[in-house]
Amino acid sequence: MASVPVYCLCRLPYDVTRFMIECDGCQDWFHGSCVGVEEEAAAEIDLYHCPQCEVLHGPSVMKRRRGPPKPPEAEPGRPVRTGSAQFVRELRGRTFPSADEVLLRPSGAQLTVEYLEEKTFSVPILVARKEGLGMTLPPPTFTPRDVEHYVGAEKIIDVIDVGRQADCRMRLGDFVAYLGGARRDRVLNVISLEFSDTRLSNLVETPRIVRKLSWVENLWPGESACERPSVQKYCLMGARDSYTDFHIDFGGTSVWYHVLRGEKIFYLVRPTAANLALFEAWSSSRNQGELFFGDQVDRCYRCPLRQGQTLFIPTGWIHAVLTPVDCLAFGGNFLHSLNIDMQLKAYEIERRLSTADLFKFPNFETVCWYVGRHLLDTFRGLRENRRHPAAYLVHGAKALTAAFRAWTRKEVLGEHEHEIPETVRPGQLVKELAKEIRLVEDLFQQSAGKSGSPFGPPRGVPPPLKDPPQKKGGPGKLPPTPRPPDEGGTPKPPPAPPDEDEEPDPPSSSPEETDPDSEGDPQILLANGGAR
């Protein structure tokens, strides 16, 4: 039996997840982390010599430059590239409408399902203090070095080189060393470190409202042939001047952010039909990296998020993020029932843009099938008791039914059937769900004594956002911007009922809080069933 080839000083087999460089002397391959060569720096090496070959052939030879290095932005007539130092300087100096025009600012205790139904979760929500959110976090003294301790220095993570707006991979330990270094030759940003399967997860509990609304938390079965999506807990670590370009979070998920140390600045754009069309065109343009999307829309809001504050961004909002100082933050993504239609629209935009699977919500369609089955059972139970569901659920069920029909058309079924759960009969589910929607509408009309469908976007569903008037004279110029990666495990047992939740023990700066939303509260039924 042939032995597996080994490489590098560590004499380990080839690992596709780790960057390697070939020695031009001995032709052996070496892990960059083992020989001190980072992936982005390798492009500047003309001839690489490993430590052994340096003794025989001398040090590695770098590529020769013609004249002194010149930053791209210094070249006359060259567009400013997104993420460059000049781009960040110009962005810092720009004036934008304040997000106070659209923000809701409840206290943590006020942020309940009932509150979101009344106000509609259609605009961003900023909570100034974490008290009352039912969220557990490490204390503000927690540092990237502590993240390394709980996650592991050897974990390979995705890192964004902001100046190049390009991805690379490195050890978490190397990234933490970079953050702690006195000199930085580039700006690096980490926005996709999901830590649910690490020891760090024991120190972080997501906000209570997220746990109540999340489809994955509440409706993903304990046993499933598909892997449970792990998008609930992210650690974000960014160096000063990090920038993530405009994007919609994958699958139209809503997102929560809490700044533990430092600050973030969000640039927010409403998901109107016109803005979504502009976003899709911008995302597919060749010169995306030279166009600032915020200049192409009527209103782009600036929203600073300071240490200790928490931001909730609703479904479909287009946003970019600047890190003005070194920052450590926590966040997560969640699908929910308050705006199903917009979630599906965002997913279809991803499909039309041929978004790579790495930047999509894992098993998005599978989650939707589980939700469809849940809504069918809910509607049946309510109808038998002569009660009707909340209008936003009926509106969402209609959107889901239309999506199910589109995904199961004969000519495209092959692209979608791998995401249909084995426990779901798609044709039967679509037929029965459509029937229940009709019966629910009939029941409502009988009880209200009215004709016509009452289930357009209602109270509790974000109303259609009016398209803003278009600017005259076309978009202006500003720092350019390329397309950003998204600010983007094994099956787990179902979560305990809300009234049995216990906040994890320290280390934490959050005291235990009593959950004001008990199991019998009607708003919990609204979150999971929508009974009225």
Whether pLDDT at 449 is above 70: no
Per-residue CA distances from 47 to 26, 38, 495 (Å): 12, 15, 55
Per-residue CA distances from 388 to 68, 112, 399, 469 (Å): 72, 22, 18, 38
321 or 514, greater pLDDT: 321
pLDDT tier at 225 (50, 70, 90 boundaries)?
confident
276-293 burial by CB neighbour count: b if 16+ within 10 A, else e? bebbbebbeeeebbbbbb
How far apart are alpha carbons 18 and 136 in whole angstroms? Answer: 34
Looking at residue 485, its amino acid is P
Neighbour count for residue 101 (Cβ, 10 Å): 9
- What is the average pLDDT across 91-99? 97
**R_g (Cα) of the chain, nearest Å:** 25
Whether pLDDT at 10 is above 90: no
- What is the average pLDDT across 484-493? 41
Whether pLDDT at 514 is above 60: no
Q: Which residues of the chain form CATH 2.60.120.650? A: 97-363+472-518
Whether pLDDT at 392 is above 50: yes
Maximum Cα–Cα distance across the chain:
93
75 or 114, greater pLDDT: 114
Contact yes or no for 267/302 (Cβ under 8 A): yes
483 or 351, greater pLDDT: 351
Q: Which two tokens stand for residue 94?
A: 């720009």
How far apart are alpha carbons 441 and 518 in whole angstroms? Answer: 29
487 or 329, greater pLDDT: 329
Q: Is the peptide bond before 507 cis (omega within 30 degrees of 0)?
A: yes
Looking at residue 376, its amino acid is L
Which of 136-145, 331-340, 383-392 comes out lowest in average pLDDT?
383-392
- What is the average pLDDT across 427-435? 97
pLDDT of residue 530: 53
- Give percent of the chain above pLDDT 70: 80
How far apart are alpha carbons 16 and 182 in whole angstroms? Answer: 31
pLDDT of residue 212: 97
DSSP one-letter code for 520: T
- What is the average pLDDT across 365-375? 97
DSSP, residue by residue, 102-141: T-B---TTT--HHHHHHH-S-S-EEES--TTS--B---TT
Whether pLDDT at 524 is above 80: no
- What is the average pLDDT across 206-225? 94
Q: Which residues of the chain form CATH 3.30.40.10? A: 6-62
pLDDT of residue 53: 87
Q: Which two tokens stand for residue 522?
A: 């009607």
Beta strands in 270-409, from DSSP E residues, in sequence order? 301-306, 310-313, 318-334
163 or 16, greater pLDDT: 163
In a 3-state reduction of DSSP, which class is residue 257? strand
Whether pLDDT at 493 is above 90: no
CA atoms within 13 A on the CB side of 269: 29
pLDDT tier at 4 (50, 70, 90 boundaries)?
low
Whether pLDDT at 261 is above 60: yes
How far apart are alpha carbons 43 and 60 in whole angstroms? Answer: 13
Question: How open is the CA angle 408-410-413, to the nearest 5 degrees?
Answer: 50
pLDDT of residue 260: 98
CATH, domain 6-62, list 3.30.40.10, 3.40.50.300, 3.40.140.10, 3.30.230.10? 3.30.40.10
Main-chain dihedrals φ then ψ at residue 17, nearest 5 degrees: -85, -5
pLDDT tier at 77 (50, 70, 90 boundaries)?
low
Q: 174-192 pLDDT, tens per residue?
A: 999 999 998 888 999 999 9
DSSP one-letter code for 531: B
- What is the average pLDDT across 201-226? 94
Write down the CATH superfamily of domain 97-363+472-518.
Cupin (2.60.120.650)
Which of 17-21, 310-314, 342-346 comes out lowest in average pLDDT?
17-21
> 276 in the Ramachandran plot: left (φ > 0), alpha (ψ -120 to 50) or beta?
alpha
Contact yes or no for 334/232 (Cβ under 8 A): yes
Q: 51-73 pLDDT, tens per residue?
A: 888 878 888 888 765 444 444 44
478 or 56, greater pLDDT: 56
Q: Which two tokens stand for residue 480?
A: 């350019």
526 or 274, greater pLDDT: 274
Model's pTM, two decimal places?
A: 0.76
pLDDT of residue 60: 87
How far apart are alpha carbons 100 and 102 in whole angstroms? Answer: 5
DSSP one-letter code for 335: -
Contact yes or no for 493/222 (Cβ under 8 A): yes
Contact yes or no for 465/271 (Cβ under 8 A): yes
Question: How open is the CA angle 193-194-198, to the nearest 5 degrees?
Answer: 105
- What is the average pLDDT across 112-124? 94
- What is the average pLDDT across 288-311? 97
226 or 215, greater pLDDT: 215
